[in-house]
Amino acid sequence: MRLILASSSPRRREIFALLGLPFDVIEPAFDERVSADRSIRDEVLALALGKARSVALAHPDAIVIGSDTMIALGGEKFGKPSDRNDARRMLLAFSGKTHEIFTGVAIIDRAGGAGLETVEQVDVDMRRLSVADIDGYLACGESMDKAGAYSIQGQGAELITAIRGDYLAAVGMPLKAIAEYFTDHGVSLSLNVGQLYRDKSYLNWRRF
């Protein structure tokens, strides 16, 4: 059984590695075009599937995992910022409000499994930010490759007052759903996923 993570994200690679399974990482050759006509749930799932399919085409005997994350607030979808000004716009929009993080996961299983398509939602409360707060955070350099222009597992945690939902999904990959898929299909994991979620031992998880 060959596992491939279709991702360019170091953080998703790190989270998936917690399962203790050998896997390869291949960056998907996939154009992540956002559609104004899709709901954000449909959007993140379509993008996760697109990533997984683009890799599975060249590796038909592998189990391929794709994932995508976006943020919703007031009917607007927020992905990665295009530049520093866009990052500032996003943080100003989130300031003092609750927004939702949506992470989609798709597993294409050509080894005989049914595959998986699921979306996790995490609600995030951000404290009210001053212009100085935002400029100070932007200066740390975390914003540009993160959906919503902040890193909940990094210095961006200082912007957050509370989260409700799966912390790992907020970071970028809901590991529990993936682990359940593998165990349901007879794959033995070295990680006790339930214990991980109880102990919250990954990065700054306990903070929330």
Tokens of 79: 């992905």
Q: 79-96, pLDDT tens digit by residue?
A: 999 999 999 999 999 999
Q: What is the pLDDT of residue 120?
A: 98
Quote the pLDDT of residue 79.
Answer: 94
pLDDT, position 2: 93
The domains located in the chain, with CATH, are 3-79+99-121+165-207 (3.90.950.10)
- Residue of 65, 59, 92 whose CA lies nearest to 78: 92
pLDDT of the residue at 74: 94
Distance CA(137)–CA(130), nearest Å, equals 11
Regions of the chain short of the pLDDT cut 50: none
Single-letter amino acid, residue 195? Q
- How far, in Å, CA of 126 to CA of 76, rounded? 17
The secondary structure of 97-120, three-state, reads CEEEEEEEEEEEECCCCCCEEEEE
Q: State the DSSP code for 29.
A: -
Structure-token pair, residue 115: 């595959």
- At 37 the pLDDT is 87
24 catalytic residue (yes or no) = no
The residue whose two tokens read 């031992």 is 201
Integer-rounded Cα radius of gyration of the chain: 17
pLDDT (0 to 100) of residue 96: 98
pLDDT at 1: 81
What pTM did the predictor assign? 0.95
Helix H or strand E segment including 138: helix 131-138
For 147, the token pair is: 């959906």
User: What pLDDT does residue 122 have?
Assistant: 98
Tell me which of 24, 31, 42, 68 is the catalytic residue: 68
